Amino acid sequence: MLRSLEIRDILIIDRLELGFRPGLNVLTGETGAGKSILLDALGFVLGWRGRADVVRAGAERGEVTAVFALEAGHPARAVLDEAGLGAGGDAAGEVILRRAATADGRKTAWVNDRRTSGEVLRALSDALVEVHGQADDRGLLDARGHRRLLDAFGGHEAAQARVRAAWRARSATRAALERAEAALADLRAEEDFLRHAVAELDALAPEPGEEAALDTERRRMQAAARVREDVARAHAALAGDGAGAPSAEGLAADAQRWLEGAAATLEGALDPALQALGRALDDLAHAAQAIEAAAEALAFDPARLERVEERLFALRGLARKHSVPPDEVPALADNLRARLAALDSGARDLDALRAGAEEAEAALAQACAALTEARVDAGRRLDAAMAGELAPLKLDRARFETRIEAAEPGPDGADAVTFTVATNPGTPQGPLNRVASGGELSRFLLALKVCLTRGASGLTLIFDEIDRGVGGATADAVGRRLAALAEGAQVLVVTHSPQVAARGAHHWRVEKRVEAETTRSTVTALAAEERVDELARMLAGDIVTDEARAAARALLAGGAEA
């Protein structure tokens, strides 16, 4: 329930504080006095999208504060909890909304004195108020919103959740199937290439690190081929080549033998030479052994070199062919084999995915059918409720029908919902705004509003000139219905109808004054006799007669008796 509304420097209101009460609250005044400005101010603090220039001319900043009482379990409490804001744990908790705007258009909002966003304000607005204004803020005339309204009336949250879950599952399985079909089509387009490439790679059977090992072995054998002949010649020079050519070791041995024969006659003169030749013979023997070992190490099979080069060149050729480094050829082979295996198993996978997609499609159809059944039942109940509401509003010969037609399945089901009316027996059904006249339309919307909001917890219902286009007994019927609606709720009505105003439990008069070339709007709570004068003005115009006052008292008496 809206407890109070405080407005500072908004539009043509400089300072205004209003306290609201349960029941039917009516606001009256001359056209242009600023009645709807109060709703604009309330919409501003609730985060509704509206005019940008809300700050009063000449002021630097405007601000609106609204205080709402929240009973235990009020839907707004869940919004506050989700946003991390508090409303007090007691049953009589309250939420304080405050929003300010500067002259240059910057806006700031607070909830319970904590900064918040316009999104949070709008979520709170949905939980705190229901508005029907001249622009039909809830979209009652827009068929695109009728399905949502019917679902809210029928309480279809669980059925809707099942449809949305089935829709997500169906979308996911369809997407998976489409991806698999596209992938299989791509694989089939390159099937010949894959089979040829895999066969070629399997024939070579490359191993990880093989290219580096082959290159090292090839380089070693090539180096050995270049130095092997020189080593062999050195070995032959030292130890002989077995073909009769003298060797260094043999020549040194011959020299030693010759010197030993001459040494006996020279009495030691050749001893140094013999000793040197002995050492030289030992060194030559060691050198020959070392060269022989080196020659054995350099020995290789030329056929092996040929085989290594052939495999190395084949490996590198495949790497160039597939544009990958040689050491990645084994991984490429594994990848191509996997793609070929996927091609071979793709048909089996597609069969499983198609079966899953069919199951998801059937589950969605089942969930949609259940929601359709619930909507048909809710439509019947709404039609019956509307029939009960139209009669008191002098529309007992009119007929309201909730039309449900099959539509393409989607996350909201497989139904198109439209509210249609026939204003007189025998006339065809049609959309509300095309069939009903101005006065009829207001009453249809009032009845629909009553039906759709019945059972709503803690809502403040706001009607902006819902009685436009009607008068006399019809206006009185509208007033009676609003008063009955207000028995279990708080209802705020902006009205030009004295019959409606007379039904109010609380009455405010809105006036516009021009002071010092400045236009200001004021709101005054009316006492009993002041209500008589206001109703008389609404009945008679500028000149209020005794007869008008008597008629006003009669209206008030009738409202009190009702």
Secondary structure class of 510 (helix, strand, coil) = strand
What tokens does 258 get? 């010759």
Q: What is the pTM of this model?
A: 0.62
Taking the CA atoms of 13, 19, 23 and 26 in sequence, report the sign of the dihedral they define. negative
Q: What is the pLDDT of residue 89?
A: 44
Q: What is the pLDDT of residue 243?
A: 58
Q: What is the pLDDT of residue 414?
A: 95
518-525 vs 506-515, strand pairing mode: antiparallel
Q: What is the pLDDT of residue 29?
A: 85
- CATH classification (class only), 2-134+438-526: alpha beta
Integer angstrom CA distances of residue 541 from 189, 319, 465: 86, 99, 18
Integer angstrom CA distances of residue 370 from 269, 374, 555: 129, 6, 50
Q: What is the pLDDT of residue 92?
A: 53
Across 79-216, the runs of DSSP E, i.e. the strands, are 93-102, 107-111, 114-116, 129-132
Query: Can you say how many angstroms the Cα of residue 98 is from the centroid of all Cα atoms in its chain?
Result: 29
Q: What is the pLDDT of residue 127?
A: 83
User: In whole angstroms, what is the distance from residue 426 CA to residue 304 CA?
Assistant: 105
What tokens does 17 get? 């504080």
- Closest by CA position to 120, among listed 70, 85, 152, 90: 85
**Contacts for 400 with CB less than 8 Å, ≥ 6 apart:** 382, 383, 386, 387, 390, 419, 420, 421, 444, 447, 448
**Contacts for 190 with CB less than 8 Å, ≥ 6 apart:** none
Q: Domain segments of the chain: what residues?
A: 2-134+438-526, 157-364
Per-residue tens of pLDDT for the chain, all 562 residues: 899 999 998 888 888 888 888 889 999 888 766 677 888 888 888 888 767 788 888 889 999 999 998 887 788 888 888 888 865 444 457 889 999 999 888 889 899 888 988 888 888 888 888 776 545 544 577 788 899 889 989 999 999 999 999 999 999 999 999 888 888 777 776 767 777 887 888 888 888 888 888 888 788 777 666 666 666 677 667 766 655 566 777 777 777 778 777 776 776 777 787 788 778 778 777 877 776 676 666 666 678 778 888 888 888 888 888 888 888 888 888 888 877 776 777 677 788 888 999 999 999 999 999 999 999 999 999 999 999 888 888 888 889 999 999 999 999 999 999 999 988 887 888 887 676 666 677 788 888 888 887 766 567 888 887 777 667 778 888 888 888 888 878 899 888 889 999 999 999 998 887 776 677 778 888 998 999 999 998 888 878 888 888 988 888 887 666 5
Neighbour-count burial of 300, counting CB atoms closer than 10 A to its CB (0-12 exposed, 13-18 middle, 19+ buried): middle
Q: What is the pLDDT of residue 203?
A: 82
Q: What is the pLDDT of residue 269?
A: 77
Q: What is the pLDDT of residue 86?
A: 66
The backbone torsions φ and ψ at residue 395, rounded to the nearest 5 degrees and listed phi first, read -125, 35
Beta bridge partners of 422: 399
Neighbour-count burial of 234, counting CB atoms closer than 10 A to its CB (0-12 exposed, 13-18 middle, 19+ buried): middle
User: In whole angstroms, what is the distance from residue 156 CA to residue 178 CA?
Assistant: 32
The backbone torsions φ and ψ at residue 104, rounded to the nearest 5 degrees and listed phi first, read -90, 10
